Every structure is written in C-alpha cells, then in structure tokens.
C-alpha cells in the first residue's frame, strides 16, 4: 500500500522517538530521516528512508548539510493551491505533512565551564531551525512537533484520522518559541563575546546580592542608552539609575527647572527642582559653604533632593536632569553616594567626581534622546510579564484641573500646581503603595512600599515633620564637637528632630551626647506641636485612591493644604467632605500610578 502521508524526522533529543516511529508506521506514514535519527529508527526495525531518497544528494560537510534542499523545503512550504501543485509536479516533489525536529543542545554546551567559541559554534543548528520555521510557517497544512512531550497526544489524534487545527496551531507556537529561545541564547552568547566594550552588553559585579552571579545589562539590536565614564555598576545601581533618570527628565519637562533625585532601593529618597534656596535652607541642607551655589539651579535641586531626608539618602544613586557643573559636583563629592547618572558633565566637574571612592565612583552618562519601547517585559520567577510602559505625562495646568473640594474654588496657586507636579511625578516612580508630600519644589516626605495606604501617609507625614523640625532654631544652632563627620551629624539631627533621643543612661545616650560641645535637650511635646503648627501649604499626591478619612486627618497634621489622588473609591464622599472641613483642596488626579 502506497503511503498517503510523509514525515521528516531530524531530532537531537531522541526521547520517545521509537514510539513515535511505531505510531507513524502504523498509520501508513512514509518516514524520511537524517543521520543518527534514521540510524536509530532503522536499528529498531522500522522502515525509514534517508532524506537523500528525495534530495538525491548525500549528507555533506560532516553532516552539517542534510536537509537544506528544495525537495525538502518545497514539500514543507507548499500550500494546497493550484500554482503550488503545478510547481511540485514540474519538479517531481511530494508534499511533506509532518515534521518532527528539535535542535542541537546549544544552551547546554555554553553552560559548561570555559567553553570556547569554536566549541559553541559546533552546536549552532542550521538545518533544524530551517525545518522548524518552514513547517511552523505553513502550519495550516503541516504539523510540526518540536517537543517529545507532545508525541502521545499527536499519535492519539493521528489514530483518530486527523490532526486538529487547534493542535497544529499550538505545535506551531511551540516551534516558534523554540527557535526564538534558541536564537536568543546564541545572540546572548556572542553579545558577551563580541560586544564586551559596553555598547550592547555590560557585565555587572553581581545581581541584587553578591551570591547572584553572573549578572549583566544588555540590549538586543541596539546600544545601551548610557555610557560608563567611571566605576563599575551593580544590578541595583542600574535599577536605581533607570528609574531615577525618567523621574528627573519628566520633572524637567513639566516644570522647566533643573531637576534632581536621590534614589535608594528603587524608590526616591528625595526629588526636587532648582527653586532658589533661602539662607536657612542652605544651612539645613549643609550647603551654605558651596561656592557658586546661587548661580546653579542644578546644585540647588540636588541640595533639596539630598537634604529632604539625609538619612534615607545616605549611599544614594543620584539622577540629574542637566549637565553637571562644578557646584553640583562639589556637593556630591563630600556626600556618601554610590553613583550619579546625568546627560553630560563639565570637564572640571567630571574630574572632581572621578576622585570619589578612590576612583571607583560610578558615573553614568545618559543618552538624552533615548526613548524606551512602548512595551516593557520583566521576568519574575521564570515567568515573563509584559505591559505597556507607563508613559502618562503630568502637566501642571491639565493634570490638576478638576478640583473636587471646595466646590467653585478659584484656580490653584502656581506654587500649589508646581508642588503637586513634583509630588505626583515622584509618586509615579515610588514603590507602591506611595504617598509624596512636597513644598517649595521638593519632596519633603515619602511613604513607599507599604501594604496599607494609611501607613504610607503616616510614614510620609512623619518624614515631613522631621524635615520641618530641622528648621527649628534649636536644630539650626547645635554646638558640634570638632571633627564630627557629616553622616554622624545627620544621624544626631535625625534623632533629635524625630524625638528619638535616648533618655535612659547607657552607651546609646553616651554615643549621642559625644557629638556635641553642648548637649541639646530633647524637644518637648509643646515645642514640637508649636513648631509643627507653622508648617503649611504642603501638597500631597497619592498613587491611587485616598480611600479613608484617616489619611486626610494625618495629612492635615503635617500642613497639607492640597491633595491630589484618583477618585472612584466607595468612600470618596466622606474623604472629600473631611478635606473640605479641614480647609484642604482636593484635586482629582485621574490616573492611577502604581509602580512595582
């Protein structure tokens, strides 16, 4: 009996092959196979022909050319059309109905220690990939099997007389994924070998933790959007950099001021625009001795971003929207910081920064014209997640145009629009849940990554209170012992202003007091309340619903007069009414800004 169907088999992984050959033979399918596949089937006693039976050409080049022939691929790619039937008849070529193929073990080879390029090259499959792609392309007619796990289901359908369209579709998808994964592994291997100059591939010291090696950053088909001018980036450095850069870029675009951000653990510790600093602010932010500060909007932006929460900013990754000048570099030079990303650097500023950390300070230069793709993908526990990038733009005059409470209110003041913009753009890049408080063009309190909104609001409010207490006369005029370092000063000020001064005698209290020539007394509750009552005109932005009145009450205690948040919660009305009673303007910010 003449065979009515034809199968071509060419597999490296021979699991289940003989059961498959038995099932195909049982269903009167003609078997054509290459190399070791044909040999194994033949030795098992099944009828099989070499592919050369239809190509009339021997295997060549040590087996590297076996199936690359029109007799094979015309038979696979032919459709059920008159013109294709005529072409096949003219060349005496028969259709191929089933292709069973999987590929050389390239991934396994390159996973070996010290594998060489020639060794890896030998495991790059050519004919197999071509078979898979051709059969998958023509899957409306041809069945392609690339996974031995699919053989049993395939044989069950074959015994019933037909491979369903649904099965052919799924088998084709699996084949396309097989070749895509294979090609990605090859390109990744050669990117590491041939693009080692940092243009497309950059080896990192390690991943999130030192034991997570190897680690790398790379782009497929284009250069990385940044250059390393000094130092060696780590995985978290780049997570911070690539979240911080768009924040300052968006602030710059929205408000037309130089912008800066201080990032730690993939959330901003501070963010600000270059609103001029008062004399008191310069002292609070420890920049009153920086030459040229008043003439540098960028330096003032970073002074605000770093100064808002000096404890959280310790060891930060800095993002700057503009070309880095000398005053900005001088501020950075004396702070504990891991690195900086900016579009450019003055030559003198660059030399100042290169001296940090013994010449190992991380300096990245960002390509300002880079636009990320509209779709972004990440891997979590081996699972690929994909979404449209959060490219919503925040505009002062548009984003905050819908005032919910008080009704019939006048337009928001420019300062409120500015500060709501700073808070909202910053909230867009904070790990959710997030709440940001802003004043004078800078963030003064952040609540990030808490599961409960009220805990975010409390955290942000507490930080804003701490920030404001640092402006108290007693905090401004502390008498330090000679030689006390800036981080120790920051820590002592934080303890004093947050009410954490140790009260019981012991080594902790002794350590605190050793910072001072004159030991300051803790703030009394009356002092704190009196001073905090002077904090006002603060803007708050929430990345999602502000769902309960407790958030509004806590915000009001930290001088909040403007709240921007999406509406739609079942409890909106109570929140709006509470804001109204407390003299807070509530603005509907219509876009949720979760960030994870």
181 three-state secondary structure: helix
d(CA 297, CA 26): 81
Catalytic residue list contains 472: no
- The edge-to-edge listing of strands for the beta sheet with 362-366 is 226-230, 362-366, 337-342, 316-320, 259-264, 267-273, 442-448, 434-439, 538-542, 560-565, 585-588, 403-405
d(CA 231, CA 592): 37
Cα angle 439, 441, 447 (rounded to 5 degrees) comes to 55
User: Which is it for strands 215-218 and 226-230: parallel, antiparallel or unpaired?
Assistant: unpaired
* Structure-token match 């919503």, residue found: 392
3-state SS of 366-428 is ECCCCCCCCEEEEEECCEEEEEECCCCCCCHHHHCCCEEECCCCCCCCHHHHHHHHHHHHHHC
Structure tokens, 268? 């901003």
Bond into 433 cis (ω within 30): yes
Catalytic residue list contains 265: yes
d(CA 84, CA 138): 13
Phi, psi of 504 (to 5 degrees): -80, 145
Catalytic residue (choose from 5, 137, 357, 455): 137
Structure tokens, 141? 């007619």
Catalytic residue (choose from 107, 192, 199, 265): 265
| Interaxial angle between packed helices 35-43 and 17-26, expressed in degrees from 0 to 180 and rounded to the nearest 10 | 70
80 three-state secondary structure: coil
Radius of gyration of the chain (CA): 33
Structure tokens, 561? 């007069």
Catalytic residue IDs: 137, 265
């Amino acid at each position: 009996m003449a065979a009515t169907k034809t199968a071509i088999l060419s597999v490296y992984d021979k699991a289940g092959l003989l059961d498959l050959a038995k099932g195909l033979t049982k269903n009167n399918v003609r078997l054509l196979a290459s190399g070791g596949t044909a040999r194994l089937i033949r030795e098992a006693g099944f009828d099989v022909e070499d592919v050369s039976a239809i190509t009339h050409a021997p295997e060549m080049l040590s087996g590297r050319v076996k199936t690359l022939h029109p007799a094979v691929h015309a038979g696979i790619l032919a459709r059920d059309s008159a013109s294709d039937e005529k072409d096949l008849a003219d060349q005496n070529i028969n259709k191929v109905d089933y292709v069973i193929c999987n590929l050389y073990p390239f991934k396994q080879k390159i996973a070996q220690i010290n594998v060489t390029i020639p060794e890896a090259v030998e495991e790059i499959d050519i004919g197999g990939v071509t078979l898979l792609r051709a059969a998958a392309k023509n899957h409306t007619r041809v069945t392609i099997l690339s996974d031995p796990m699919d053989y049993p289901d395939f044989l069950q359908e074959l015994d019933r007389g037909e491979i369903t369209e649904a099965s052919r579709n799924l088998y084709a998808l699996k084949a396309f994924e097989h070749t895509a994964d294979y090609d990605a592994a090859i390109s990744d291997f050669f990117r590491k070998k041939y693009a080692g100059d940092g243009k497309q591939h950059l080896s990192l010291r390690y991943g999130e933790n030192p034991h997570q090696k190897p680690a790398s950053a790379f782009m497929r088909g284009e250069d990385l959007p940044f250059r390393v001018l000094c130092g060696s980036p780590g995985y978290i450095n780049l997570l911070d950099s690539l979240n911080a850069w768009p924040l300052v870029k968006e602030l710059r675009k929205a408000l037309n001021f130089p912008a800066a951000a201080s990032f730690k653990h993939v959330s901003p510790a501070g963010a600000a625009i270059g609103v001029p600093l008062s004399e008191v602010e310069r002292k609070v932010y420890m920049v009153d001795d920086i030459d040229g500060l008043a003439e540098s909007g960028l330096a003032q932006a970073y002074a605000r971003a770093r100064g808002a929460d000096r404890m959280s900013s310790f060891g930060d990754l800095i993002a700057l929207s503009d070309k880095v000048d000398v005053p900005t570099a001088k501020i950075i030079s004396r702070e504990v910081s891991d690195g900086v990303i900016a579009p450019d650097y003055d030559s003198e500023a660059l030399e100042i920064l290169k001296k940090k950390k013994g010449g190992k300070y991380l300096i990245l230069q960002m390509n300002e014209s880079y636009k990320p793709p509209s779709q972004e993908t990440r891997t979590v526990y081996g699972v690929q997640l994909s979404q449209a990038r959060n490219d919503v733009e925040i505009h002062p005059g548009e984003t905050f145009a819908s005032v919910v409470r008080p009704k019939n209110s006048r337009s928001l003041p420019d300062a409120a629009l500015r500060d709501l913009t700073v808070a909202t753009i910053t909230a867009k890049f904070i790990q959710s849940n997030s709440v940001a408080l802003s004043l004078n063009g800078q963030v003064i309190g952040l609540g990030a990554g808490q599961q409960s909104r009220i805990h975010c609001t409390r955290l942000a409010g507490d930080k804003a209170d701490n920030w404001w207490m640092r402006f108290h006369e007693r905090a401004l005029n502390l008498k330090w012992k000679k030689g006390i370092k800036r981080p120790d000063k920051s820590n002592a000020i934080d303890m004093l202003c947050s009410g954490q001064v140790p009260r019981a005698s012991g080594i902790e209290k002794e350590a605190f007091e050793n910072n001072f020539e004159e030991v300051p007394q803790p703030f009394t509750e009356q002092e704190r309340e009196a001073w905090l009552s002077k904090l006002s005109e603060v803007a708050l932005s929430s990345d999602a619903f502000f769902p309960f009145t407790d958030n509004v009450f806590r915000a009001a205690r930290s001088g909040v007069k403007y709240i921007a948040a999406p509406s739609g919660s079942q409890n909106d009305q109570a929140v709006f009414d509470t804001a109204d009673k407390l003299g807070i303007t509530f603005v509907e910010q219509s876009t949720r800004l979760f960030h994870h």
